[in-house]
Amino acid sequence: MSSAALLDAGLSALPAHDAMLMDKALRYDWKQWARPKQRQPEGDWDILAFVAGRGGGKTRPGAEIMRDLAETWPGIRLALMGRTAADVRDVMVNGDSGIIACSPPWCRPVYRPSLRLLQWPNGSEGHMYSADKPDQARGPQHHVGWGDEVAAWRARAALDNLQDGLRLRSIPSRPHLTFMPRLVLTTTPRRTELVSDTFLGPRDASGKRPVSKDAMTAGGWEFVAEHPDAVTGLVVRHRTVVRRWSTEENAANLAAGFAAKRRAKYGQSALGRQELDAEILEKVDGALWQQEIFDNSRYVGTPRLKRVEVAVDPTRSDDPVDECGIVVGGVDEAGTAYVLADLTVTGSPDKWIRAAVSAYNHFKADAIIYEGNRLGEDIRNAIRTAAPGVKWVEVTASTDKAIRATPVSALYEQGKVRHVWSQAEEDKGENPLAILEEECCVWDPSEPKKSPNRLDALVWCITSLMLGVRPTIAAPRSVGTRPSHWRR
């Protein structure tokens, strides 16, 4: 039972007048409801980070701290920054766990959208900024900042500008006191250098970070950086405190079965450890892709394509746990490739053949490209008889997987491959290609690992669309073109 449900159940047993007074006293007392990891630490701190899995309840403590500061320090200036302007409005301010919902009626701020401003009755203000427009926060001064889903911010300058603006030391209502600027960060982590530097600390001369790998799997940690003040000569201490927890720890406040379904989907995979356990995973040395490359490749909308193909990295057995990579991509007139979908399935050849044909029909593709290495004649017969009119193009891998993947990763670095998001996915911050991107980021071509099926399908797709006939694949036979709803 959620904390709110517990409160309602307890109040229902009291007389109406007593219930009203008790509700007023307790409902907005966050300290009574917060789990230990959701509370502020003792002592001074510069950065307080709440790092949790999806649905873990990290937004609420961010909103509650902002509300507490605004009520305690009349006239304080808060900086509120989210991934987009819509995220600030819909999550941080007006969301179910946002500032307005957390605030009691007697001290509830007024939202002024045209000014990007929250105004409290006591003169405190919350100024709203978008990480997608980092220069918005360049210049304005504040006492405290809150950054939500900072791991999804594409511009490192957004966090830099937010921190640089936290330089006000006095508050109009308490001019005799010196206020220490603070920054609250709430996020589910991602495999980026910004996340590692912020939550694990910068590397020293030997390449080590102040937070050990053992500490990273704990429920929280902290580290202190010391810097000499050029003016006073005194040593300035900068304390970062991180609180970490999993999605399951907040299951009582989520829809029934949400946490279990997500765990069933991701399990203990690298993506599951990140998205559900909130484990901060650092970059893999030698990996051909980094998350920042994918973040910069995002394309929101429907591209105009001249050719669409479905690429398949087949399975060769009826093992129900064997995964078949299926990636759909296209290329436009300017020679830019677009990854449209990752439709990877787990199961038998019959299952992936049907899935590939379904993708071919749905995207009105020109061909299905599939790797024919070691495929039996029975599977080839199944492919030939799967569906009349479907164009199948068999390619054969004749070189090492890393050699095939390297030119494709180079195309990403050159900005010639884009990952397509719908507007709805962009608005919600839900990456439709998250598992594919994670597989690319964790694959180390120098180590023998389980075959990266999605990555293989991606490589075949981009190779066919962008690189033409290569020494690493058999020359594809000619295929016809068909009208497509992906072309404009």
pLDDT one-digit tens code per residue, 9-28: 665 766 766 565 556 667 78
For residues 304 and 218, membership in a common domain is answered with no
The predicted-structure confidence for 97-111, as pLDDT tens digits, reads as follows: 999 999 998 899 999
Mean pLDDT within 457-484: 61
Does 115 have pLDDT greater than 90? yes
For residues 93 and 233, membership in a common domain is answered with yes
Integer Cα distance of 391 and 479 in angstroms = 7
| Selected residue with higher pLDDT from 146 and 488 | 146
Is the Cβ–Cβ distance between 125 and 64 less than 8 Å? no
For residues 210 and 321, membership in a common domain is answered with no
Mean pLDDT within 289-298: 92
**395 in any annotated domain:** yes
- Confidence (pLDDT) at 54: 93
Local confidence band at 217 (pLDDT 50, 70, 90 cut-offs): confident
- Confidence (pLDDT) at 370: 87
User: Looking at residue 440, which CATH number applies to its domain?
Assistant: 3.30.420.320
Is the Cβ–Cβ distance between 93 and 85 less than 8 Å? no
The predicted-structure confidence for 324-368, as pLDDT tens digits, reads as follows: 999 999 999 999 999 999 999 988 888 888 999 999 999 999 999
- Most confidently modeled of 167-181, 327-341, 418-432? 327-341
**386 in any annotated domain:** yes
The predicted-structure confidence for 193-208, as pLDDT tens digits, reads as follows: 899 999 999 888 888 8
Does 276 have pLDDT greater than 50? yes
For residues 236 and 138, membership in a common domain is answered with yes
**136 in any annotated domain:** yes
Burial class (CB in 10 A: 0-12, 13-18, 19+), 36: exposed
In single-letter form, the type of residue at position 218 comes to A
- Confidence (pLDDT) at 51: 97
For residues 441 and 335, membership in a common domain is answered with yes
- Torsion angle defined by CA atoms of residues 229, 230, 231 and 232, in that order, rounded to the nearest 10 degrees: 40
Does 383 have pLDDT greater than 50? yes
- Most confidently modeled of 30-34, 143-147, 280-284, 397-401? 143-147
For residues 417 and 322, membership in a common domain is answered with yes
Residue 72, helix vs strand vs coil: helix
**206 in any annotated domain:** yes
User: Looking at residue 141, which CATH number applies to its domain?
Assistant: 3.40.50.300
Does 471 have pLDDT greater than 50? no
For residues 49 and 149, membership in a common domain is answered with yes
**281 in any annotated domain:** no
Integer Cα distance of 425 and 303 in angstroms = 16
**194 in any annotated domain:** yes
The predicted-structure confidence for 33-44, as pLDDT tens digits, reads as follows: 899 999 999 999
- Confidence (pLDDT) at 474: 36
Does 397 have pLDDT greater than 90? no
**270 in any annotated domain:** no
For residues 297 and 234, membership in a common domain is answered with no
- Confidence (pLDDT) at 215: 85
For residues 215 and 103, membership in a common domain is answered with yes
- Confidence (pLDDT) at 316: 67
For residues 310 and 395, membership in a common domain is answered with yes
**271 in any annotated domain:** no
Q: How many domains does the chain have?
A: 2
Mean pLDDT within 222-236: 82
For residues 131 and 234, membership in a common domain is answered with yes
Residue 417, helix vs strand vs coil: strand
Mean pLDDT of the chain: 86
- Confidence (pLDDT) at 10: 64
- Which domain-ending residue is among 194, 229, 253? 253
Does 6 have pLDDT greater than 70? no
Is the Cβ–Cβ distance between 49 and 159 less than 8 Å? no
Integer Cα distance of 290 and 193 in angstroms = 9
Q: Supply the range of the domain harboring residue 185.
A: 3-253
In single-letter form, the type of residue at position 226 comes to E
For residues 210 and 319, membership in a common domain is answered with no
